[in-house]
A and B are shown apart, each in its own frame.
Chain A
Amino acid sequence: MLSPEPAKVSYYEKRKAVFPKVVSGPFRRFKWLMLVVTLGIYYLTPWLRWDRGPYAPDQAVLVDLANRRFYMFSIEIWPHEFYFVAGLLIMAGIGLFLITSAFGRAWCGYSCPQTIWTDLFQHVDRLIDGDRNAQLKLEAGPWNAAKVFKRGLKWSIYLAISFWTGGAWIMYFADAPTLTVDFWTGQAAPVAYATVGVLTATTFVFGGFMREQVCIYMCPWPRIQTAMLDEKSLIVTYKDWRGEQRGSVKAKERQPDVIGDCVDCNQCVAVCPTGYDIRNGPDIACITCGLCIDACDKVMVQLGRPRGLIDYATLEDCEHERAGGERRSILKTALHWRTLVYFGVWAAIGAGLLFALGTRQRIDLSVAKDRNPPFMLLSNGEVRNDYTLKLRNMETRPRPMSVTLEGLPGAVMWTDEMGRDAASRELQFTVAPDQTKPVRVYVVAPEGTEEAEFTFVLAARDREAGGDRAETRFDAPEEDNDE
C-alpha cells in the first residue's frame, strides 16, 4: 500500500452514497424481526390502555410531566421514587456493556434507532427506486420527469414516516387519543408541535440522508466500543488466511495453493448498509449487522465451498483457526467471565429494584420544621414549634389517615383548620387519591419542656393500613433566658 506521494490531499470529502443490495439469510431475517418488534413497541405502546380506576389515567405507559408521575402498567412512580428510573438507566448502561461483552456491537447492528430507521428508509428506497443497480442508475441519470416523480414520492414517504415517528414520541407524555385530537385541532401545547417538528426533522435528515455518517462521524458509541472491544470480543470478521489471495474460480483451479476462497465478487460490500469493505479488517464503520455474512455464505454455498469466510468470530478464535485449529462455538465467548460479571451486576441491580418495588410503601410522611424562628414562647409560658407535614397518598383512592405524636409528653398539636381549642395528640385527615396533602401543624408543649427529639407517626385508617414515621426535633428556650 506504500505510495510515494499522495495524488492530491483533499481536506473535505463528499458523502459517498450507499446503495445496499437486497440480501436474504438468517441475519437479514433477524433484522426484519428486530425492525418489526422495535418499531411496533415504539409506535403502539402509547395506545395500550390500563385500568387504574377513576382517579388515575388509563394509559399503560405514560410519562406525566405536568403532574410528575410515571406510569408503566401496574407500576406508578412518584418523583421521590425516581431512583427506580435511575436504576433502570444504570441497568440500560450496564446492559450495553453486557451485550458488548457477550455479542460485540450487537446494539449497533440490530437495535440502535439509527440502524432501525436507516434500515426502514433503505427499504423505502428499494420499494420506489428498485434494488442497488436501479438506484445507482437513477442517481447517475438526468433529472427527468420520472426521476423528479420518484424522488418526490420517496421523500414524501420519508417525511410521512418521520412525522409519524415524531408524533409517536409525544404520545408517551399525554393521553394519546386526547392528544391526537388536540394535535390536529391546534389545541395541543406548543411544546408538542415543537417536539414533533424537531423529531420529524431529525428522523428525516438522519434516517433519509445522513445514515451511516451518523455512525461514522457523529455517534460517540462506536468510539466507546473501540475501547471496549478486545481480542475476546465477537466481531464480524473476514478470515483473510482463508480468503486471500483473491482470485476467480478458474484462477483457483490453476493455482490452488496460492488463490484463496474469496472470489472478489464484492457482494459483501454491495449489501453493507454503511458501504464498508469488511475485508479491510475491523473498523468503526462496521456496525456488525451480519448482512455481509448472509451475502458471502450464499456465494460460498453456490461455489461449493464451506460457509463462514466472513463470520462472527473473536480475534483470538481467528488466531486459533489460522494456526489450523478447530472452529470454536461462539457460546464460549458469550459465557466469558467478564460477561458473567456484567450479568451479575446487571441482575443484582434488577433484583434490588424488584425487591424495592415489591416492598415499597404507598403512604408516606415527610416533615419540615420551621427553623426561623426555631420556637415561640407563648404568653402562658408554653412553647410552640411549627411544622409542615406532607402526607402522601400514592394509591388511586382517597384514604383516611391519622397523625399522632410519639414522645414529647404533655404536648398537643393543632392545625389552622381546627384551631387551638381542638388541639390533641392525634389528628385525623382524609388525603385525596394520588395526592400530597401539605398540612401546617402547630405543636405546643408545656412550660419547662426542654428541647427533644420526637416522632410524628402516620397511619392509614383503612383496611389496608400501613404507615410511616418521621423523626424531628422540638426546640425550646434555654433555662436562663436573657429576654
Chain B
Amino acid sequence: MANKRIDEATGVETVGHSWDGIEELNNPLPRWWLWTLYATIIFAIGYMIVYPAIPLANKATEGLWGWSSRGQLAGEMQAEEARRAGTLAALAATPIEQLAGKPDLMRAAIEGGRAAFRVNCVQCHGSGAAGSKGYPNLRDDDWLWGGTIKDIETTLVNGIRQPGNDATRQSLMPNFGKDGILPPADIAAVADHVLSLTGKSAANARGAQLFADNCAACHGADAKGGRQFGAPNLADAIWLYGGKRDQVMGSIHQAHAGVMPAWGGKLDPVTIKMLAAYVHSLGGGEDFVAATAAAPAATPARGEANAQP
C-alpha cells in the first residue's frame, strides 16, 4: 500500500486506503477477538467430525453421532405416533355411536378427520367439503344415504355403487330416455312436473301421472326421495346434477349413478371413524351432539384458544 502514513492526531499508522478522503487507522484488534476466531474454528472442526459434513462422490461423511435429517424426522414421527397411540387405541375401541359421549375423543376424531379429509376426500368434495356439480355438499342438510354419524361411517366403509361389495350403497335409476322406456315428450312432461313441485314450472297432469307410474317407487309419491335407495328429494332446493329443465331432462334420459370408493379396504377403521366424525361436524350432521358442551374441564384453564372449534 502506497499511501500508508502515520495519522497525526493519534500517532497510529493508516491501512493505506482512502475513500473520499476517509482513511482507516490500523489499530490492533483485541486479542480475545482472535481467540474467539480460533474457538469458532475448533468448533467447526468438531462439528465436521460429529455431524455429516464433507461431500464425497456418493454421499457426505456421516459423522460420529450418526445424525441425519431423515433420522431426526423418523424420530419425531415416532414420538408423535407414540403420543397419539393412546387416543387412537381408544378410538378403535369405541363404537362410533358412542363417540358423542366422549367429548375429548370426539374432538380428537374431528381434528384427525380434518387432516385425513384433506388427503383423501378433497379431490371430489372440495377442500371446504362443499362439493360441486355431481359431488355432494357435505355441509348442508341434504343426505342421500343418511346423515347420522353411523350412516356416514357406513357410506365411507362400503362406498357407493362399488361392484363386489354386498354392503355398498346400491341403487340404479333406469335410463328412461336412452333405453327407450319413455319418449322424449314424456320425459319433458315428467321434468315439468318435478320442477312444478318447487314452483319452477306450471303443473303438468300428464307428468304427474307418468311420475306416479315410473318414479314414485323410489322417489316417493311426494317426490321427497328415500334413503333406502339413495333417491334424492326432488321437492327441495338442492340439485346434485343441476335443477334447470334441460338438466333435469338429462338426468331422466340417462341416470348419473355417481360412485364413491369403498374406503373400508383403503383406510384403517380409525381413520374412517375420524372422517365420519369430521364430516358429521360440518354443520349438517344429523343428531349432532356438541363435543364442547359436556367438557368444560378439558379446555385449558386460561389462554387464547387457537384451535378450530
State whether A376 and B130 are in contact (beta carbons under 8 Å apart), knowing that A419-B288, A483-B239 are contacts in the complex.
Answer: yes
Q: Which of B135-143, B165-173, B256-264 lies at the interface?
A: B135-143
CB pair A13–B28 under 8 Å, yes or no, is yes
Question: Per-residue 0/1 for A214-255: is the Cβ within 8 Å of any B Cβ (1 yes, 0 no)?
Answer: 000100000000000000000000000000000000000000
Q: Which of B50-58, B267-275, B298-306 lies at the interface?
A: B298-306
Residue numbers in A under 8 Å from B233 (CB-CB): 379
Residue numbers in B under 8 Å from A66 (CB-CB): 303
B residues 186-233 in Cβ contact with A at 8 Å: 198, 233
Residue numbers in B under 8 Å from A482 (CB-CB): 133, 242, 244
Cα-based distance from A482 to B302 in the complex (angstroms): 48
Which residue, of A217, A376, A415, A416, has the highest number of chain B Cβ atoms within 10 A? A376
Contact among B29, B33, B238 for A379, CB-based, below 8 A: B238
Cα-based distance from A217 to B36 in the complex (angstroms): 13
Contact among A3, A378, A386, A435 for B141, CB-based, below 8 A: A378
Contact among A13, A376, A435 for B31, CB-based, below 8 A: A13
Cα-based distance from A442 to B29 in the complex (angstroms): 69
Cα-based distance from A180 to B28 in the complex (angstroms): 46
Instruction: Give chain B's interface residue range (CB within 8 Å of chain A).
Output: 35 or more
Rounded to whole Å, the gap between the CB of B28 and the closest CB of chain A is 4
Residue numbers in B under 8 Å from A440 (CB-CB): 309
CB pair B137–A12 under 8 Å, yes or no, is no
Residue numbers in B under 8 Å from A373 (CB-CB): 126, 128-130, 137, 139
B residues 103-143 in Cβ contact with A at 8 Å: 126-130, 133, 137, 139-142
CB pair A435–B309 under 8 Å, yes or no, is no
CB pair B130–A372 under 8 Å, yes or no, is yes
CB pair A9–B31 under 8 Å, yes or no, is no
State whether A12 and B28 are in contact (beta carbons under 8 Å apart), knowing that A372-B130, A379-B140 are contacts in the complex.
Answer: yes
Main secondary structure, interface of A, reads loop
CB pair B8–A1 under 8 Å, yes or no, is yes
Rounded to whole Å, the gap between the CB of A398 and the closest CB of chain B is 11
Contact among B31, B198, B284, B293 for A417, CB-based, below 8 A: B293
Residue numbers in B under 8 Å from A380 (CB-CB): 236-237
Q: Select from chain A the residue with minimum beta-carbon distance to B281.
A: A416
Contact among A12, A213, A371, A417 for B34, CB-based, below 8 A: A12
CB pair A9–B26 under 8 Å, yes or no, is yes
Q: Select from chain B the residue with minimum beta-carbon distance to A415.
A: B290
Q: Select from chain A the residue with minimum beta-carbon distance to B236.
A: A379
B71 in contact (CB, < 8 A):
no
Sampled A-B contacts (29; CB under 8 Å): A10-B28, A12-B28, A12-B33, A12-B34, A13-B31, A14-B31, A15-B31, A69-B302, A79-B304, A213-B32, A370-B128, A372-B126, A373-B139, A376-B137, A376-B140, A376-B283, A378-B140, A378-B238, A381-B236, A384-B140, A386-B139, A386-B283, A416-B281, A416-B309, A419-B288, A435-B305, A438-B305, A483-B239, A483-B242
CB pair A379–B141 under 8 Å, yes or no, is yes
B292 in contact (CB, < 8 A):
yes
A148 in contact (CB, < 8 A):
no
B2 in contact (CB, < 8 A):
no
Residues of chain B whose beta carbon lies under 8 Å from any beta carbon of chain A: 6, 8-11, 13, 26, 28-34, 126-130, 133, 137, 139-142, 198, 233, 236-239, 242-244, 281, 283-284, 288, 290-293, 302-305, 307-309
Residue numbers in A under 8 Å from B137 (CB-CB): 373, 376-377
Q: Select from chain A the residue with minimum beta-carbon distance to B11.
A: A1
Residue numbers in A under 8 Å from B236 (CB-CB): 379-381
Cα-based distance from A372 to B34 in the complex (angstroms): 59
Residues of chain A whose beta carbon lies under 8 Å from any beta carbon of chain B: 1-3, 6, 9-15, 55, 66-69, 78-79, 210, 213, 217, 370-373, 376-381, 384, 386, 388, 415-417, 419, 434-436, 438-440, 442, 447, 481-483
CB pair B237–A447 under 8 Å, yes or no, is yes
CB pair B302–A434 under 8 Å, yes or no, is yes
CB pair B28–A11 under 8 Å, yes or no, is yes
Residue numbers in B under 8 Å from A55 (CB-CB): 302
CB pair A377–B238 under 8 Å, yes or no, is yes
CB pair A1–B140 under 8 Å, yes or no, is no
Cα-based distance from A416 to B304 in the complex (angstroms): 20
Residue numbers in A under 8 Å from B140 (CB-CB): 376-379, 384
Q: Select from chain A the residue with minimum beta-carbon distance to B288.
A: A416
Rounded to whole Å, the gap between the CB of A276 and the closest CB of chain B is 13
Given contacts A3-B6, A3-B11, A442-B283, 13 further A-B contacts (CB under 8 A): A12-B34, A13-B29, A67-B302, A68-B304, A69-B302, A373-B129, A373-B137, A377-B237, A379-B141, A380-B236, A435-B305, A438-B305, A439-B309
Rounded to whole Å, the gap between the CB of A144 and the closest CB of chain B is 26
Which residue, of B30, B130, B133, B291, has the highest number of chain A Cβ atoms within 10 A? B30
Residue numbers in A under 8 Å from B239 (CB-CB): 483
Residue numbers in A under 8 Å from B26 (CB-CB): 9
Cα-based distance from A285 to B207 in the complex (angstroms): 100
CB pair A210–B141 under 8 Å, yes or no, is no
Residue numbers in B under 8 Å from A67 (CB-CB): 302-303
Q: Select from chain B the residue with minimum beta-carbon distance to A420.
A: B141
CB pair B237–A381 under 8 Å, yes or no, is yes
Q: Select from chain B the residue with minimum beta-carbon distance to A56.
A: B302
CB pair A483–B309 under 8 Å, yes or no, is no
CB pair B6–A2 under 8 Å, yes or no, is yes
Rounded to whole Å, the gap between the CB of B292 and the closest CB of chain A is 7
CB pair A483–B141 under 8 Å, yes or no, is no
Q: Select from chain A the residue with minimum beta-carbon distance to B137.
A: A376
Cα-based distance from A384 to B32 in the complex (angstroms): 70
CB pair A436–B30 under 8 Å, yes or no, is no
Residue numbers in A under 8 Å from B242 (CB-CB): 482-483
Cα-based distance from A139 to B23 in the complex (angstroms): 38
Contact among B30, B129, B237, B303 for A15, CB-based, below 8 A: B30
CB pair B237–A12 under 8 Å, yes or no, is no
Rounded to whole Å, the gap between the CB of B256 and the closest CB of chain A is 14
Rounded to whole Å, the gap between the CB of A198 and the closest CB of chain B is 16
CB pair B128–A436 under 8 Å, yes or no, is no
CB pair B237–A378 under 8 Å, yes or no, is yes
Residue numbers in A under 8 Å from B291 (CB-CB): 416
Cα-based distance from A377 to B198 in the complex (angstroms): 14
Rounded to whole Å, the gap between the CB of B285 and the closest CB of chain A is 9
Closest 5 CB pairs of A and B: A372-B128, A373-B130, A416-B290, A379-B236, A381-B237
Residue numbers in A under 8 Å from B34 (CB-CB): 12
Cα-based distance from A2 to B128 in the complex (angstroms): 80
Cα-based distance from A442 to B129 in the complex (angstroms): 16
CB pair A217–B303 under 8 Å, yes or no, is no
CB pair B283–A12 under 8 Å, yes or no, is no
Cα-based distance from A221 to B281 in the complex (angstroms): 57
Cα-based distance from A442 to B282 in the complex (angstroms): 10
Contact among B13, B141, B281, B309 for A9, CB-based, below 8 A: B13
